[in-house]
Amino acid sequence: MKRILFVGAALFFLMTGCAAQEKQTGGQMEGMAEEHGHGDAKVTKHFDDSLTKLTENSLYSLELVVPDKYLKMGVNTVEIIVHHATGGDVAQAEVTVTPWMPSMGHGVMQKPVITERGGGLYSAGNVVLSMTGHWQMKVKVDKDGKADTAVFDFPEVKAMGHEHAMMHAPPPKDLDYSTMKMTANDAFNVMYKSVGGQIRINRIHSWELTIKNAAGQPVNDAKITVVGDMPEHGHGLPTQPEVSKLGTGGLYRVDGMKFTMPGWWIITVSVMANGVHDSVSFNLNIL
Amino acid sequence: MRNHVIRTTQSAIAASLLLIIAGVMIPASAWSLDQHTWTDGQKAILRSLWIGSLGPLPVDPSNRYSDNPKAAALGRKLFFEDHFSGNMKVSCATCHREDYSFTDNLPLSHGMDTTPRRSMPLIGVAYNSWFFWDGRTDSLWSQALGPIENKLEHGISRTMSAYIISKYYREEYESLFGPIPEITEEKWPQEARPAQDDPNALKAWVLMTPVQREAVNRIYVNMGKAIAAFVRTIMPQPSPFDRYVEKILSGENITKRMALTNDEIAGLRLFIGKAKCTNCHNGPMFTNSDFHNLGLPQKGKGGPDKGRSAAITQVLSNEFNCLSQYSDAQANECSELRFIDTSGKKYEGAFKTPTLRNVTERPPYMHAGQFTTVHEVLEFYRSQAQNPELGHGDLTDQELGQIEAFLHALSSPISSLQAEKK
């Protein structure tokens, strides 16, 4: 009997303990939103595991919440909380998010989509990182003409580990499947062609790229990288393609292309020529 | 076989019952039209999976004997040769049984001892880009050489192999590859090999002269090339699925004999649609020959099996790879090796997608025999719905059963080069 009483008491403590904790956590969140609403002088983080940064001209304090704390190659969604530098949430601001690869000198083709959620919270979806490596994310906040930016650094964006591959971006409707496009900043015109006609799944094959400048002149001596990504699965090509120059005429050959999954692929071609870096992404539907 | 008959009977009963029901509900013609109507997009996928799309055996530029019938005939003998083992009982056919779709029925294969993985099926294996579960070799001939010197598998050395060839297969070997240098057991140590796991064998190997080592390597390599020439001939035949697709593509009427059962057709629709099985099991061999981590439970002795990530450096440094002096290929013909994805992290614990042809004929399943039935495999995939790599849709029990039924329709007899009749 004594023992039963003891166990009962222990259980009671455990249960009340948990409940109290839960309440506390919930309360913390609500409490903080209120705190900012009243314009406290001190900036309090909303989330424990977020990244924070003061904007360049100290106008705002930004809080960035990234799932699992790191960005991954593929499609990401991040949450941004905008605080006044002196405290208090910033609602109804114009927020833009620009992912950038400093070493490659290019950004992304797909524009991140910003949705305001209220209480200074903005979510940035469709942050498509086309390759692994060093990325930066420039966040610009413009509230009533007072604009300021902060740059968050992600030194090592990796391909998603399969066990972490939780993101799943279905192909948007009306995807542009054209094989000739201008690069993001209109510096180059890039056309691709699969050598030997239709691309066949599971076969190593080659592409030919034709690169021209905005004036339509062939671009020779460009440094080119080709990266593949499958947004629905968060992984890239099963190969590491190589690019070589094919004489003049802005013609290049990409060897080692291979697709081992049917569906939506994004191939990003980065071009660096005459001191200009720009990139373009092609959509492909592999059968 | 008995199971198969029972299954067919059950399916037939089920099909007739459905026919009766369908006959009451709607006109039979409308029913059959619906059942066998595929959109152009679906037909394109069916065609891509059809055995008719397989094409001729891919040329292996690293093995100039790969399509040589005499080499294949010698290779067949070597494949079944028990002498190539430490206990004179293990041949390639021990773990690749001709009567079991050229694999075995064990979760972990057993040669001289128990290995850490299951034996791979050899049907249509020549269509792969990489070999072994982790792709640690890039040709069928270099694959064939791995198990010979593995202590857990054949457990002998290349010097012993060369000796066996010289003693039992000299005439056939020499007619293909030229004269064998004089080999005597006294002159060449029996257990010499460039081994990392056996200092004595390694010591014996380095004490041989470079000329001797080269002579042994040549014989060993040619032996692998002959075995590969035989293994290339192990091919699937048209399955009920293939016969069905042929009828669909030719626009012919589906006669009762040719049609798959209702469940099999429903399973096929799921396979190429909602269940997304063709994400990895695509093409006429039902595999992309690529590597994926499914998050399977670890089995066998030792630490976690790193799979493909550990094999990347192994294949690049393999003394018998496509770029090696023993390969018959030009450097530019070694595409897979040239463009190999070296990001090890991406392939941590990843294993090769196996073919699904004859899959229901050869339990158990996965790289370490983690599951005993196809049903367990499908249940596992369903449990991984959150993983986009494995997300197979929200499948009901009935749908799972239909996919399983469809997998049965991928079975066929296997053809391979047969021994010459005397």
This complex has an ipTM of 0.80
> What pLDDT is recorded for position B388?
66
B394 close to A (CB below 8 A): no
**Predicted pLDDT of residue B69:** 97
Per-residue pLDDT tens over the stretch B85-105: 999 999 999 999 999 999 999
- How does pLDDT run across B21-38, given as a tens digit for each residue? 444 444 444 444 567 889
Same domain, A191 and A281: yes
CA pair distance B172, B115, nearest whole angstrom = 32
Of B88, B220, B83, B249, nearest in space to B141 by CA:
B220
- Position A61 in a domain: yes
Lowest mean pLDDT among A21-25, B27-31, B224-228, B235-239: A21-25
Same domain for B25 and B153, yes or no, is no
Q: Tell me the Ramachandran region of residue B23: left when phi exceeds 0, alpha when psi lies from -120 to 50, beta otherwise.
A: alpha
Distance from CA of B279 to the nearest CA of A (A): 5
Q: Are residues B110 and B198 in the same domain?
A: yes
Length of chain A in residues, anyone? 287
Structurally, how many domains does chain B consist of?
Answer: 2
B78/B128 same-domain check: yes
Residues ≥6 apart with Cβ < 8 Å to A24: none
Q: Are residues B85 and B219 in the same domain?
A: yes
Structure tokens that stand for A286 in this block:
């592999």
Please list every residue in chain B whose beta carbon sits closer than 8 Å to the beta carbon of residue A260: 280, 288-290
For the sheet containing A223-230, what is the strand order? A235-236, A223-230, A263-273, A276-286
Helix axes B158-168, B170-177, angle to 10 degrees: 100
Distance CA A283, CA A265 (A): 6
- For A232, name the nearest residue in chain B, comparing CA atoms only: B388
- B88 and B201 belong to one structural domain: yes
**Rounded to whole angstroms, what are the CA distances from A19 to A6, A26, A256, B183?**
20, 11, 58, 81
In the stretch 241-280 of chain B, residues with CB closer than 8 A to chain A read: 278-280
CB contact under 8 A, A132 and B343: yes
Cα dihedral B200→B112→B367→B126 (10° resolution): 80
Based on the domain organization, do B79 and B202 belong to the same domain? yes
Q: How far apart are CA B300 and CA B305, in angstroms?
A: 9
Residue in the structure block whose two tokens are 């005397």 = B422
Last residue of a domain, one of A160, A188, A212: A160
**What's the Rg (C-alpha) of chain A?**
24
What's the CA dihedral at B114, B115, B120, B125 to 10 degrees? -120
| Closest to B156 (Cα-Cα) out of B148, B164, B168, B166 | B148
**HSE-CB for A151 with a 13 A CA cutoff:** 10
Q: Nearest CA to CA, how far is B95 from chain A (Å)?
A: 28
Domain membership of residue B310 (yes or no) is: no
- If one compares B273 and A44, the residue with the highest pLDDT of the two is B273
User: Do both B86 and B139 map to the same domain?
Assistant: yes
Question: Does B119 contact A at CB distance below 8 Å?
Answer: no
In CATH, what number is assigned to the domain containing residue B115?
A: 1.10.760.10
What single letter denotes the amino acid at residue A24? Q
Same-domain pairing of A206 and A141: no
Contact list in A for residue B349 (CB cut-off 8 A) is: 162
Indicate whether A192 and A99 sit together in one domain: no
> What three-state secondary structure class fits A180?
strand
Q: Which of A121-125, B66-70, B203-207 has the lowest mean pLDDT?
A: A121-125
Q: Residue range B104-130: average pLDDT?
A: 95
- The per-residue pLDDT for range B299-339, each reduced to its tens digit, is 766 778 999 999 999 999 999 999 999 999 999 999 999 99
Chain B residue with CA closest to A261: the answer is: B279
Q: Burial-class residue B349 by CB neighbours within 10 Å (0-12, 13-18, 19+).
A: buried
How many Å apart are CA B219 and CA B180, to the nearest integer? 8
Query: Quick check: is A38 in a domain?
Result: no
**What's residue B31's pLDDT?**
46
DSSP B360: G
**Of A128, A160, A192, the domain-final residue:** A160
Does some domain include residue A26?
no
Residues A187 and A153 in one domain: no
Do the domain assignments include residue B295? Answer: no
Answer yes or no: is A271 within a domain: yes
Instruction: Please name the amino acid found at residue B206.
Output: V
- Ramachandran assignment for A144, one of left (phi > 0), alpha (psi -120 to 50 degrees), beta (any other): left
Q: State how far the Cα of B402 lies from the Cα of B208, in Å rounded to an integer.
A: 60
Q: How many helices (H) and strands (E) does chain A have?
A: 1, 17
Only one residue has tokens 């049907």, namely: B123
B383 occurs within a structural domain: no
**B58 touches A: beta carbon within 8 Å:** no
Q: Is the distance from CB of A202 to CB of A271 less than 8 angstroms?
A: no
- Residue A251 sits in a domain of what CATH number? 2.60.40.3340
**pLDDT of B186:** 67
Closest residue of chain A to B337, computed from CA coordinates: A239
**Dihedrals φ, ψ of B380, to 5°?**
-60, -45
CB B92 within 8 A of CB B79: yes
CB B232 within 8 A of CB B76: no
Task: Please enumerate residues of A whose Cβ is less than 8 A from a Cβ of B.
Answer: 132, 158-159, 161-163, 165-168, 201-202, 204, 232-235, 237-242, 255-256, 258, 260-263, 287
Q: How many CB pairs under 8 A join A and B?
A: 89
Q: Please list, residue by residue across B132-144, b when 16 or more beta carbons sit within 10 angstroms of its beta carbon and e when fewer do.
A: bbbbbbbbbbbbb
Asked if B345 and A161 come within 8 Å (Cβ–Cβ), the reply is: yes
Instruction: Examine the domain organization and report whether A272 and A237 are in the same domain.
Output: yes
User: Coil, helix or strand for A234?
Assistant: coil
Tell me how far apart the alpha carbons of residues A138 and A159 are, in angstroms, rounded to a whole number: 21
The residue among B49, B280, B282, B394 with the most chain A CBs within 10 A of its CB, best to mutate, is: B282
| Phi, psi of B88, rounded to the nearest 5 degrees | 60, 25
pLDDT attached to residue B213: 94
Where in the sequence is the domain holding B120, given as residue range(s)?
69-231
Q: Are B29 and B80 found together in one domain?
A: no
Residue B418 lies in a domain: no
Q: What is the rounded distance in angstroms from the CA atom of residue B35 to the CA atom of residue B326?
A: 54
End-to-end CA distance of chain A: 70
Residue of A nearest to B286 (CA): A202
| Averaged pLDDT for residues B37-56 | 94
In a domain, A5, yes or no: no
Q: What share of chain B is helix, strand, coil (3-state, %, to 5)?
A: 45, 5, 50
Q: Is the separation of the CB atoms in A54 and A61 below 8 Å?
A: yes
What mean pLDDT, rounded, does chain B reach? 89
The predicted model scores a pTM of 0.73
CA angle A116, A120, A123 (to 5 degrees): 40
Cβ within 8 Å, pair A165-B338: no
Residue B19 maps to a domain:
yes
With respect to residue B25, please indicate whether it lies within any of the assigned structural domains.
yes
**Residue B413, in any domain of the structure:** no
The widest CA-to-CA distance across chain B, in whole angstroms, is 84
Q: A72: which strand partners? A: A158
Q: For the domain that residue A78 is a member of, what is the CATH number?
A: 2.60.40.1930
- Is A117 part of a structural domain of the chain? yes
- Are B12 and B147 members of one domain? no
CA distance B149 to B166: 18
**Which residues 126-155 in chain B show a CB within 8 A of chain A?**
129
Measure A8 CA to nearest chain B CA, in Å. Answer: 37
% of chain B residues with pLDDT over 70? 89
Q: Domain of A259?
A: 180-286
Q: Which residues of B touch A242 (CB under 8 A)?
A: 338-339
Q: Is B346 an interface residue toward A (CB < 8 Å)?
A: yes
Please tell me what DSSP assigns to residue B116: S
The structural domain count of chain A equals 2
Do B97 and B176 fall within a single domain?
A: yes
Residues B95 and B195 reside in one and the same domain: yes
* Token pair 């018959």 in the structure block, residue: B328
- pLDDT of amino acid A163: 34
Distances (CA, A) of B338 to B25, B58, B70, B138, B344: 60, 18, 31, 11, 16
The tens place of each residue's pLDDT in chain A, 287 residues long, gives 444 444 444 444 433 333 333 333 333 333 333 333 333 345 667 766 778 889 999 999 998 888 766 787 777 778 898 999 888 889 999 999 998 888 777 777 677 888 887 788 888 877 878 777 788 899 999 999 999 999 998 887 876 543 333 344 667 778 899 999 999 889 999 999 999 888 989 999 999 999 999 999 999 999 999 989 888 777 789 999 999 999 889 999 999 999 999 889 999 999 999 888 888 999 999 98
Q: Is residue B75 part of a domain?
A: yes
In this structure, the answer to whether residues B184 and B130 fall within a common structural domain is yes
